[in-house]
Amino acid sequence: MRLLIGILIFIGHSVNAKTWQVNTVNALYQSIKKASAGDTILISKGMYKIHTIIINKPLVIIGRDFPVLDGQFKGEILTIQASGTQVRGIEFQNVGETSSIDWAGVKVLEAENVVVENNRFRNCYFGVYLSACTKSRVSDNRIVGQPKEEQTTGNGIHAWKCDSILIENNSVEGHRDGIYFEFVTNSLIRNNFSTLNIRYGLHFMFSHNNTYEFNQFVKNGAGVAVMYTRHVTMKNNIFRDNWGGAAYGILLKDISDSHIEHNQFLSNTVGIYMEGCSRTTFLQNEFSKNGIAMRIQANCDDNRIKTNNFMANTFDIATNGNSVYNEVAHNYWDKYEGYDLNRDGTGDIAYRPVSLFSTLIERVPQAMMLLRSFTATLLDKIEKIIPSLTPENLKDEKPAMKPIKMASFKTSVHSITA
């Protein structure tokens, strides 16, 4: 009986819903003012110079051939305050900048079941801004900014105090942070491409029980940062070409009870930087051509680093402590020079991934000028024969003799300017 009543109500709304055809700025304002909940606003192709349109009832707003809503740098463009609103097929441009208000192309405030899909954002202070939202989706958008200083550039997709949201198939570039989460829970970031952002391709803090998968974070100022978070899962992501004095594939700070699996860390200054991390598993990741594959600070403990591939990195692991209490096992190290007499695929002697030269650099950074010199090679050879300065308990007792086969994966979203 309840199901029948629900169907009848839905049919009633569908029958009564009206479509408003819009081709001028005045018609756009008037149709939004006069429309009833559930109506559709269909915007024709063209240029609409406007700012601060407030949606306070659930509407479906659709653009035909990507009409341009131009904020003229005067403020925000679209502010959504109604649950169930949908926005599709529109190009938003020229959002104003201010240090006191986070103006955005589309801002959603305290609403649920909102969809922002297949839109374009150009030169917006913030692209899409979600505040206190639940069960909403931001997907298939192309967001391109014109970065200036970090303090005067907003984020591409920004979420604050949200729950159960989906960020999917977006391309973001040219912002402060490509995707930013703070106090966001039970959400999914999937198949996004984030590149050429001033600071981080992805930045989230105090955001628990979230999953990040099949994303690409490429050539961002400082890579990706994950801070003050527990129960995070990051799988099948690519972290590539994040170079700089303070750049990482991913920075993990005060992370616990999390899972980092089957990611690729390619050509970063540091693949993974860990500080204050506990009870986190690193499984079947590929570290290739990084300056340092993993930098594990001494305040990290009870982490598991297993069945990963370390290939062509300048240093495999670096640390600033003499005692490191983490499990390192069954990884492949291309620098391993041990043997396998019983041919079981596992090295017969342990591998110590922390070289004496990397330990020296931690204490005297200027020693980097000796990299690849005879002196550096001699130091590491001596340390292998008589270990003394590298951490005694940071070693792989059973290193793999051959690279571990990883299941292939692809991401399908690419940069809009690529």
pTM: 0.88
Residues 6+ apart with CB under 8 A from 373: none
Give the span between the Cα atoms of 362 and 81, in whole angstroms: 52
Q: What is the pLDDT of residue 161?
A: 97
Give the span between the Cα atoms of 242 and 268, in whole angstroms: 5
- List the one residue out of 325, 324, 333 whose CA is nearest residue 351: 333
Residues 6+ apart with CB under 8 A from 368: 361
Tell me the three state secondary structure of residue 271. strand
Give the span between the Cα atoms of 25 and 176, in whole angstroms: 31
Report pLDDT digits (tens) over 258-313. 999 999 999 999 999 999 999 999 999 999 999 899 999 989 999 999 999 999 99
- List the one residue out of 54, 56, 26, 59 whose CA is nearest residue 42: 59
Give the span between the Cα atoms of 196 and 48, in whole angstroms: 29
Q: What is the pLDDT of residue 4?
A: 45
Residues 6+ apart with CB under 8 A from 30: none
Q: What is the pLDDT of residue 51?
A: 83
Report pLDDT digits (tens) over 291-305. 899 999 989 999 999
Q: What is the pLDDT of residue 10?
A: 41
What residue ranges of the chain have pLDDT lower than 50? 1-13, 364, 366-367, 369-370, 417-418
